[in-house]
Copies of this chain bind each other. A is one copy, B any other.
Amino acid sequence: MQYTYMHMGVTKSDLFTDIQNEIAAAAKALAHPARVAIIQYLLKTNACINGDLVQELGLAQATISQHLRELKEIGIIQGTIDGARVNYCINPGRWKEIQQQIGGLFDQYQKNDPNSCCS
């Protein structure tokens, strides 16, 4: 084993394939309604700043900033500095990449016989 702790709340990512870890990481970025809301707002407005989202979502500025950082870290959004503000928007290439990773998982089901399963 690679870790020294005993049975605790950390993911044993070395047990899984890169793809599995990547899909999980991408899904985790969407695994909070505030981040889904941020993305939907970005889809609607095409670009926005932290302050817009504070108004829109009703969460504190620090909280929004934290969610934006998570989305930025996974690469699904990007921010460009505009004076004292930061303009956030979708990162098209990464968006498509994650879309294919997660979508690819779901598409695999169609290939199988849906009736040979316990039903």
Contact = CB atoms under 8 A, between A and B. Distances in A.
This chain: how many copies in the complex? 2
Given A15-B34, A43-B109, 20 more contacts: A12-B59, A16-B57, A24-B31, A27-B29, A27-B31, A28-B28, A36-B105, A39-B105, A40-B105, A78-B118, A87-B118, A88-B118, A89-B118, A90-B117, A92-B109, A95-B106, A99-B106, A99-B109, A102-B106, A103-B103
Contact of A20 (B12, B40, B43, B89): B40
A119 B87 CA distance: 10
A118 B47 contact: yes
Contacts of A21: 33
15 contacts: A15-B57, A15-B59, A16-B33, A20-B40, A23-B30, A24-B30, A24-B31, A24-B32, A27-B28, A27-B31, A28-B28, A30-B105, A46-B116, A92-B119, A95-B106
